[in-house]
Chains A and B, each alone.
Chain A
Amino acid sequence: MSGFSRQVALVAAIAFTAGAAGFWVARLMPPPAPEVASVSPRKPAPVSGLEGQPAPALSLPDLDGKPRSLSDWPGKWLMVNFWATWCAPCMHEIPALVAAQTKYEKHGLQILGIAMDDPDAVRTLMREKGFNYPSLVGDEQVQHIMEQFGNTMGALPYTVLIAPDGVIRYIELGGVDTPKLDMLMQRFLPL
């Protein structure tokens, strides 16, 4: 075999081996996640368009009927949690929110519930669940406020983290748990 032929054979062998190895590795990897039918519910990504933007102003009554706004908690990392007593996923996340309020209060966290609900139902449930953070209440007004905060579907729970400078830093549609809250606090708060 001439020198040139040997080179050709060598290159061909390398190419074949490399190509085969690529296909072999590809075969070993799990297949891509199947496309979900367009009508199936999928959790929308955080409404990133609002992250980095100033939080809209709001005014809602607390459980004593006194109008409150976000400026009533100056200098705080406000975690606004939209919820309701009829919303099972909202109920499930309450212990984690209560724990986070206890753990991160000294670092500037203030959780603020906004309930789309009847004040009496909210008052009773807050007592039962041992809330350590306040909640405002409303009905259609809450829906309108949620839309301003990017939740156009009106689905609950919905959580918005607002920095002390009034800028929205994070939005979550769906329930949060302790690992997620710890991650958010690590990421955003001056711990």
Chain B
Amino acid sequence: MAFTRILTLGLSLFAAGAVTTTARAESLLHAKPKADALLPVDQAFDLQGATRKGHEIAIDWAIAPGYYLYGHTLKVSVDAPANAPFTGPVLPKGEMLKDAEFGDVEVYRNVMRAKLTLPADAKAPRTLRVRYQGCADIGVCYPPQTRIVAVK
């Protein structure tokens, strides 16, 4: 009986070593990413709103890790009241991305804040029409998005 117990222990030790080895090999074979991991566009580029402070309006995005917004495709216009004047949008310095097709383009990661400046004696916009576009580092791009944003 003692012999059987020792044999069982020996086999268990062997199995432990083999299982550990197999588990590592399996994880290498199946290191592919899981499905459904690409975020919906509004989670990738979370347009958080437009905030007015004096003669300035700030439009903010929270950008998910691994995604970026293009600066040059950002377009802002006044939705209401029609023809409310402003200058901008102005963006801070972003990250320069070298693209074989589009050349050097400025992109924004993590956050993007666009600023508009309002004339001192004009009506402030109540709602803005904002168009923006971005991509994911894995090599896919989302279509341009247009949103109407209330100015708070």
Contact = CB atoms under 8 A, between A and B. Distances in A.
Contact of B17 (A21, A30, A40, A86): A21
5 contacts: A8-B6, A26-B23, A30-B24, A41-B38, A43-B139
B34 A42 contact: yes
Interface in A6-39: 7-8, 11-12, 14-16, 18-23, 25-26, 29-33, 36-39
A12 B5 CA distance: 11
B17 A41 contact: no
Question: Residue among B13, B23, B44, B102 with the most chain A CB within 10 A?
Answer: B13
Interface residues of B, number: 52
B144 A42 contact: no
A42 B33 contact: yes
Contacts of B24: 26, 29-32
Given A32-B31, A153-B40, A87 B20 contact: no
Given A4-B3, A18-B17, A19-B13, 17 more contacts: A15-B10, A26-B23, A29-B24, A29-B25, A36-B37, A39-B39, A39-B65, A40-B64, A41-B138, A42-B37, A43-B138, A84-B141, A89-B135, A116-B143, A154-B143, A155-B38, A173-B38
B121 interface: no
Contacts of B27: 32-33
A88 B141 contact: yes
B77 interface: no
Nearest to B33: A42
Interface of A: 4, 7-8, 11-12, 14-16, 18-23, 25-26, 29-33, 36-45, 84, 86-92, 116, 143, 153-157, 173-175
A155 to B, nearest CB: 4
Contacts of B10: 11-12, 14-16, 18
A33 B41 CA distance: 27
Given A11-B6, A25-B21, A90 B141 contact: yes
Given A7-B3, A18-B14, A37-B65, A43 B38 contact: yes
B3 A153 contact: no
B28 to A, nearest CB: 7
A96 to B, nearest CB: 13
Contacts of A33: 27-28, 31
Given A14-B10, A116-B143, A41 B39 contact: yes
A44 B36 contact: yes
Which 10 residue pairs across A and B have the least CB separation, nearest first?
Answer: A22-B17, A15-B10, A19-B13, A42-B33, A32-B27, A42-B37, A33-B31, A18-B14, A155-B140, A91-B101
B37 A41 contact: yes
A26 B99 CA distance: 41
Nearest to B64: A39
Contacts of A37: 65
A59 B16 CA distance: 59
